[in-house]
Amino acid sequence: MARKQSDLDDLKTATAGIVSCIVQTLGESDPSFPGRFEHRLDDWYAEMRNNRNYGPHALEMLSWAREAARSDRPLLTPDERD
């Protein structure tokens, strides 16, 4: 049996999934969007990493969002959606 994620991890997973859906959808009409989005996300990650006001959860969330946005597969297969 898989280990249950913490509430915080559930929130980060759901947020990363939403980011992925948005990036994929916008990328359908503007193929350059995913690359531009990733570039801005990388810049924001670097800024947050250099600012001591942000903790590790904020950086991890950005990292998860980046990985989700890079994904070229749907979050759920058609069978999983039903």
- State the pTM of this model: 0.70
DSSP H helix total and E strand total for the chain: 4, 0
In this prediction, residue 3 carries a pLDDT of 62
In this prediction, residue 43 carries a pLDDT of 93
20-78 per-position pLDDT tens digit = 889 889 999 999 998 999 999 999 999 988 988 888 888 888 888 888 888 765 555 44
Give me the residue spans of the domains in the chain: 19-71
* 47: CB partners within 8 A, 6+ apart: none
Query: Positive or negative, the Cα torsion across 50, 56, 58, 62?
Result: positive
In this prediction, residue 78 carries a pLDDT of 46
